[in-house]
């Protein structure tokens, strides 16, 4: 198992990148190779600390999630809100279910991550050049068609390094959502599909952990939670003043470095 220092590093990487349009999976693959922490046990550790990041969003947007359980009069609540999240989760869930083994076998390498970082960056720059439509300015204005459309764009995130957040935010913007609204819906929609994906992987691989590993896992989980909390709060504040372009330039700068190190 990894050391406490590595658990902290991986927790920070996961938390800071999970909900930003830079790809947490890609960064974890790169970090894992640099720390010489790879293999089935490493992948399971990364899955567990993802749950820390998910919990951070669930706490930050607790009123939204409580509204899904107890309808509060808003359109994005109760059965309607759950149906929208179901539509968004459906395409990537189905594709991931059938292509899970192939994705794990062929795409979880630093080199494929580098190409995905570059492809996602170019996509961000193209989307930011498009005329802003901004027809949807709140979660309550999201329609079933928009939710399903964002879900189709979310399939791009199955390529590690592309970024689930980038795919869904860009999808929302292309389909008419305001940038900040697209980001907030991306955060909320991440919770069900990430719980499903991490739960599926954990059911298959939790036996890889021994009782001695649990404290290290808890450290990574806690650090991921705190880092994700900070990242989400900061990202939403920045979107009021910035576009997604700085994240695209970061990705374009990182991609050749990764290729140079791992090719």
pLDDT-based confidence at 2, cuts 50/70/90?
Answer: low
pLDDT tens digits for range 113-130: 999 999 999 999 999 999
SS3 177: strand
Q: Residue 1: is its pLDDT beyond 60? A: no
Please state whether the predicted TM-score (pTM) of the whole model is above 0.85.
Answer: yes
Q: Residue 210: is its pLDDT beyond 70? A: yes
Tokens of 157: 């995130």
pLDDT value of position 111: 87
pLDDT tens digits for range 36-55: 888 777 877 888 888 899 99
Is the sign of the CA dihedral 90, 16, 116, 25 positive or negative? negative
pLDDT value of position 242: 84
Distance CA 146, CA 87 (A): 9
pLDDT tens digits for range 248-258: 999 999 999 98
Secondary-structure percent of the chain, ordered helix, strand, coil, rounded to 5: 80, 0, 20
Is the sign of the CA dihedral 88, 93, 94, 95 positive or negative? positive
Q: Are 182 and 137 in contact (CB under 8 A)?
A: no
Q: Give the chain's mean pLDDT.
A: 89
pLDDT tens digits for range 132-177: 777 899 999 999 999 999 999 999 988 988 999 999 999 999 999 9
């Amino acid at each position: 198992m990894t050391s406490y220092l590595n658990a902290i590093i991986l927790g920070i990487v996961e938390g800071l990148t999970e909900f930003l349009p830079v790809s947490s999976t890609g960064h974890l693959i790169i970090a894992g190779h640099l720390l010489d922490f790879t293999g089935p046990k490493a992948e399971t550790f990364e899955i567990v600390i993802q749950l820390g990041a998910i919990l951070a969003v669930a706490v930050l947007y607790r009123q939204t999630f409580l509204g899904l359980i107890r309808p509060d009069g808003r359109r994005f609540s109760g059965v309607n809100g759950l149906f929208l999240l179901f539509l968004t989760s459906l395409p990537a869930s189905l594709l991931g279910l059938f292509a899970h083994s192939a994705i794990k076998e062929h795409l979880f390498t630093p080199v494929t991550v580098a190409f995905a970082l570059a492809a996602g960056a170019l996509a961000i720059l193209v989307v930011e050049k498009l005329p802003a439509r901004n027809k949807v300015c709140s979660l309550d204005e999201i329609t079933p068609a928009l939710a399903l459309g964002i879900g189709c764009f979310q399939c791009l995130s199955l390529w590690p390094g592309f970024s689930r957040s980038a795919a869904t935010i860009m999808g929302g913007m292309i389909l008419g959502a305001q940038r900040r609204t697209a980001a907030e819906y991306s955060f909320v929609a991440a919770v069900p599909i990430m719980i499903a994906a991490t739960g599926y992987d954990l059911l298959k691989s939790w036996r890889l952990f021994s009782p001695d590993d649990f404290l290290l896992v808890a450290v990574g989980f806690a650090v991921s939670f705190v880092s994700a909390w900070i990242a989400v709060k900061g990202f939403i504040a920045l979107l009021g003043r910035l576009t997604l372009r700085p994240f695209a330039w970061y990705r374009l700068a990182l991609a050749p470095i990764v290729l140079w190190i791992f090719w």
